[in-house]
């Protein structure tokens, strides 16, 4: 996706969630002739701000013109009805960890799946480097290759070298602010 967009996902070009999660789900449902679906989104009660940004509509290319500047004809449709059962039941992160703690086949990452997301605080990136060195190094290499950074103020390799702040509460930072990501 970064090759196609000729960019790294960042605050100015936030394409990761839409292009790599939402759009493929929508296209799969369309291929199965499912035009409208019910989705249960796993936002927790301690992530209310994410639910407020949740969209039930998608804008997609409906058809193309053979000539002219704007060849794509876009259409916006309502494609899903979303519910947030964890919010409805006031379930927070510690409750989920406690529920799954004895299950040896299922584990949660200490942070979200998006280890090098541009929304992460530098301290969280530093901790993610300790936990998943290959992911942060991959992100740092991508920054070097493309001459750009995920975060404006610090590169992934710079984040990996900062001292670890011992009193920082890890894994509790902002979730995705696009309204579409999942933690």
Q: What pairing do the DSSP bridges indicate for beta strands 37-40 and 80-83?
A: parallel
* pLDDT over threshold 80, residue 179: no
Which residue range is the domain that position 71 belongs to? Answer: 2-161
Which whole number is the average pLDDT over 174-180?
54
Using DSSP's 3-state secondary structure scheme, residue 62 falls into strand
For residues 93 and 88, give the distance between their C-alpha atoms in angstroms, rounded to a whole number.
Answer: 14
Query: First and final CA of the chain: distance in angstroms?
Result: 20
Give the whole-number percent of the chain exceeding pLDDT 90. 45
Domains in the chain, number: 1
pTM tops 0.95: no
- Across all residues in the chain, what is the average pLDDT? 86
Q: Is residue 16 part of a domain?
A: yes
Q: Is residue 168 part of a domain?
A: no
- Look at residues 42, 28, 20, 43 and name the one whose alpha carbon lies nearest to residue 79: 28
Q: Is residue 123 part of a domain?
A: yes
More confident residue, 107 or 8: 8
pLDDT digits (tens, 9 = 90+) for 74-128: 999 999 999 999 999 999 988 988 898 898 888 777 777 788 888 888 998 999 9
Q: Is residue 172 part of a domain?
A: no
For residues 181 and 82, give the distance between their C-alpha atoms in angstroms, rounded to a whole number.
Answer: 14
Q: Is residue 174 part of a domain?
A: no
* pLDDT over threshold 70, residue 174: no
Q: Is residue 180 part of a domain?
A: no
47 Cβ contact partners less than 8 Å away, ≥ 6 residues apart: 87, 175, 183
- Look at residues 58, 51, 50 and name the one whose alpha carbon lies nearest to residue 80: 58
Q: Is residue 178 part of a domain?
A: no
Q: Is residue 45 part of a domain?
A: yes
């Amino acid at each position: 996706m970064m090759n196609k967009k000729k960019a790294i996902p960042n605050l100015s070009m936030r394409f990761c969630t839409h292009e790599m999660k939402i759009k493929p789900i929508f296209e799969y449902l369309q291929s199965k002739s499912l035009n409208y679906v019910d989705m249960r989104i796993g936002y927790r009660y301690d992530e209310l701000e994410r639910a407020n940004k949740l969209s039930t509509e998608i804008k997609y290319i409906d058809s193309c013109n053979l000539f002219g500047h704007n060849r794509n004809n876009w259409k916006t449709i309502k494609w899903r009805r979303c519910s947030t059962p964890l919010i409805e039941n006031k379930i927070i992160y510690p409750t989920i960890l406690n529920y799954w703690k004895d299950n040896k086949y299922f584990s949660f990452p200490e942070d979200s799946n998006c280890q090098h997301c541009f929304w992460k605080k530098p301290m969280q990136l530093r901790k993610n480097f300790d936990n998943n060195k290959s992911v942060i190094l991959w992100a740092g290499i991508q920054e070097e290759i493309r001459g750009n950074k995920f975060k404006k103020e610090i590169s992934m390799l710079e984040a990996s070298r900062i001292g670890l702040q011992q009193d920082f509460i890890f894994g509790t930072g902002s979730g995705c602010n696009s309204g579409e990501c999942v933690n």
